[in-house]
Amino acid sequence: MLPARDIVLLLTHSGDHYTVDRVAQELSRRGACALRIDTDGFPAELELTTEVAPERSAVTLRIAGHEIRGSEVQSVWLRRLVPSRLEENLEPSWREGCLRESRAALDGFLDGLRAAGCRFVNPLEAGQAAAGKLRQLRLARSLGLEVPRTLVTNDAARVRSFFEQLQGRMVAKMLTPLSQSMDGGQPFVFTSAIGPEHLEDLEGLRLSPMVFQERIDKARELRVAIVGRRCFVGAMEASRSEAGRVDWRQASPRECPWRHGELPAEVAHRLTRLVAELGLVYGAADLIVTPDGRHLFLEVNPGGEWGMLERELGLPIAAALAEALLVEDRPSRQPAQESL
């Protein structure tokens, strides 16, 4: 049995290192027992049990010979939930069924922890609901954030008309990612510029709708890690990179290093309100700053990356997450903005 003290579960995957390690260190500094759980190791390497009976409801997990009861867990960081690693020789129908059952059992276990009073960053249902990009844009606009003109459709005629309205300044992207990371060995679709030549072949819309959006002139791009009422701001001049001009994720760190960024107070306030109204504790927001100083909101990712901001800029995001896992947020009148 692990020591009888507050346990914080860090749910991630076996290929995740820097960010989860930093949060674990910050939790340990604060006297908590941080326990990493690689969700792709369930059910092969991790045993979860949920019991519901007339007299009680309980959850337990067993890992590396240790058994932890739900009553010992103070909080949970839902860093990443990824599919189980299963034997390659499983028939596809069995594989699909095993993956469904494993995820359903994991969700039930997490719900048991929630019922036992555990704090979640982020709450499971809120994180899933908040991932809807169109909902984010509507809510952001209602809160006073400026958003680019956006069209989601599988109607080729509407795409061509939208292209004309935008005078050819249009990009295409997806509503959902094909993979969890840009280097995960799985397909990853970047934001792409659309030209007249692309309008001749829109047959792919018969298979899947896409997001078409106004292309905005950029002075710089911001990644804002929001933890409760605190904003940690990194800035990148991705326009300096030919590859990263449309999507900064294609720029190399040497071409476009992260630098400290700032937000106007009203933009920071609206971002923290957006995260709170989505039911989140943490979110990573992407914004464009135009040459004339306007701030346009693109999206907020409930599980977005922030490790590069801490590693390259020294922003104490891991410490903020550790505090959020251990202490209930205390409301303040204005969001704190940190870029050191």
Query: Do 272 and 331 fall within a single domain?
Result: yes
Judgement on whether residues 16 and 104 belong to the same structural domain of the protein: yes
Please report whether residue 72 resides in a domain. yes
pLDDT of amino acid 181: 43
Angle at 63 between CA 61 and CA 69, to 5 degrees: 30
Confidence of residue 128 (pLDDT cuts 50, 70, 90): confident
| Number of domains within the chain | 3
Neighbours of 20 (CB within 10 A): 22
Residue 176 belongs to domain with CATH number: 3.30.1490.20
Is the same domain home to 164 and 107?
Answer: no
The answer on pLDDT for 331 being more than 70 is: no
The one-letter amino acid at 125: E
pTM confidence score:
0.86
User: Is there a single domain that holds both residue 242 and residue 307?
Assistant: yes
Same domain, 139 and 195: no
Q: For residue 22, give its domain range.
A: 7-121
pLDDT in tens, 210-260: 999 999 999 999 999 999 999 999 999 866 655 545 555 555 666 779 999
The full length of the chain comes to 340
Q: How far is CA 4 from CA 48, 93, 238, in A?
A: 20, 43, 49
What's the pLDDT score for residue 239? 66
Does any domain span residue 1?
A: no
**Where does the pLDDT of residue 185 fall: very low under 50, low under 70, confident under 90, or very high at 90 and above?**
very low
pLDDT at 188 over 90: no
Q: Are residues 140 and 154 in the same domain?
A: no
Whether 175 and 255 share a structural domain: no
β-pair partners for 151? 212
Same domain (yes/no): 22, 43: yes
Task: Provide mean pLDDT across the span 156-176.
Answer: 92
CATH number (domain holding residue 23): 3.40.50
Residues 39 and 105 in one domain: yes
Same domain? 164 vs 236: no
pLDDT band, residue 267 (cuts 50/70/90): very high
Same domain, 191 and 180: yes
